[in-house]
Structure 1
Amino acid sequence: MKQQISSAKAPKALGPYSAGIATEGLVFLSGQLGADTKGNLVSEDVVGQAKKAFENIGVLLEVSGLTYDDIVKMTVLLSDMNDFAKVNEEYAKYFNEPFPARSCFEVAKLPKNAKVEIECIAIKK
């Protein structure tokens, strides 16, 4: 059985998908942009967008009874790989060792012309 995850404190999905799904002890969060609850990007800057994306992830984790420590896998999408180090600096503020497994890709374009999108998988212990 799967349970939808959402919060009034995080942006709604931009299309026909869920912000998150919990099933079988796993929580899958869809890609989060650096957007406010109305879906507007909070910054033109990749650091500001990354910070807000992590905050949105935190909100969705919280309604699931989880924290950043429960994340086991992250995928980071960047519109410019030159922003990799800047996003890593922000990323490091949210995680301790052992860090989640992670992939990072440069993509041609993100929704709303965002500079970063972050998705993750967490486990319920």
Structure 2
Amino acid sequence: MAPGLFIAGTEKMGKGVFTSVAITAGSVIEIAPVIVMSGKERELLDQTLLHDYIFEWGTGGQCAMALGWVPVYNHSYMANCEYEMDYTTNSIAIQTVRDIRAGEELFINYGGSWDEQKPVWFEAK
């Protein structure tokens, strides 16, 4: 975990991840392990609140629950961070895509790439 990161309340999204220090573009700020679950386990998770916090993982309907602070990063269509999945180490890395000012909230795009514009599941309804 990068120094200066903290979790705080947000006006509209519950809680989010923020930074108290400036972070340069291209910085890896977190590498979190994931728990990989089968397609059958995913069917059960889809019936719970955890559905909103899992990632598609590989093929065959698998999913993964990220540990660390990854589930707390909020969504933005013009995110200032991106995530990368490592299927070999079963981890997700969060990296900045631009310089971040102290005090800023850190966002990822739930659609995949940091600038994906396709509506995510909770807005596509």
TM class, shorter-length: under 0.3
Question: TM-score scaled by structure 2?
Answer: 0.26
Question: TM-score scaled by structure 1?
Answer: 0.26
* Structure number, greater radius of gyration: 2
Of Structure 1 and Structure 2, the greater helix share is in: 1
Of Structure 1 and Structure 2, the greater strand share is in: 2
